Amino acid sequence: MRNTLAIAWKETKSYFGSPMAYVIGAVFLALTGYFFVSSISRPFAEATIRGWLLPATFFFVFWAPALTMRLFAEEQKLGTLELLLTAPVHDWEVVLGKFLASVAILVGTLSLTLYYVLLLFWFGDPDVGPLLSGYLGLLLYGSASLAIGLFASSLTSNQIVAAVVGSGLLLLMTLADQAAQIVGGIASRVLEQISLTAHFADFARGVIDTHNVVYYILVTVFVLFLTERNLDSRRWR
């Protein structure tokens, strides 16, 4: 666990030492801020953050790969990944450390949006339940998205390719519920089950369903497992 935390700390410091961190954060806040203001400015609008929650999940399609694209791709390009994998550290410690670093950045970014909540309490009397469930849903959704982006980064030494592959995978899983409305039958039910967006709707409404919580956890763990397996296979190439 010590190795995992050391890797997580190193990656977190490296990220915040880069201007990319502030560019990505600023874009995220600008877009979510726009949708937040738009949602509460409508006549008879409710004091809720639901208006920017769903758009925020779509932003993860691009935000998560942009955040994770360098975590493994850059190591491969510089040739430092082989050194890391031959060090006295397990592959899963490397994967978990980099993942925890990205989650820490996610938490930091989401914490900056808490001023939306403060504005709601300043001008209204919002229900606390949907606020808590909404942020829990964003954390779970974002963690799954980061895991997928991390997996894409482990596949290539090119950061741009990693970002494109990660965004492509996330876009497919985001739009799966839309495709489910077209195909019908068993395929429709399968697509609904694998859709990242379909499992988020309850969180946005203020409902915490254990089925949805377990889904995001399983997706995250499974994709991190695939990432670890991919790293392990490099030892035999």
What is the predicted pLDDT for the residue at 46? 59
Q: Break the chain into its structural domains and give their ranges.
A: 2-234
- Tokens 């954060």: give the residue: 25
Residues 138/208, Cβ–Cβ less than 8 Å: no
Q: Whole-prediction pTM value?
A: 0.89
Distances (CA, A) of 125 to 39, 204, 207, 208: 16, 18, 19, 21
Helix, strand, coil % over all residues of the chain, rounded to 5: 80, 0, 20
Separation of alpha carbons 138 and 205, rounded Å? 13
User: Which residue type, as a one-letter code, is found at position 199?
Assistant: H
Query: What distance in Å separates the CA atoms of residue 123 and residue 126, rounded to the nearest whole number?
Result: 9
CA 98 distance to own-chain centroid: 13
H helices of 42-127, where? 50-78, 80-86, 91-111, 114-123
Write out the DSSP string of 164-184: HHHHHHHHHHHSHHHHHHHH-
Task: Measure the N-to-C terminal CA separation of the chain; round to a whole number of Å.
Answer: 28
Q: What is the pLDDT along the chain (237 residues), one digit of tens a residue?
A: 777 888 888 888 888 887 877 888 888 888 888 887 777 666 555 556 666 788 888 889 998 999 898 888 877 777 676 666 666 778 888 899 999 999 999 998 888 888 888 877 777 777 777 788 889 999 999 999 999 999 999 988 889 999 999 999 999 988 887 776 677 667 777 777 888 888 888 888 888 889 999 999 999 999 999 999 988 776 655
Residue type, 3: N
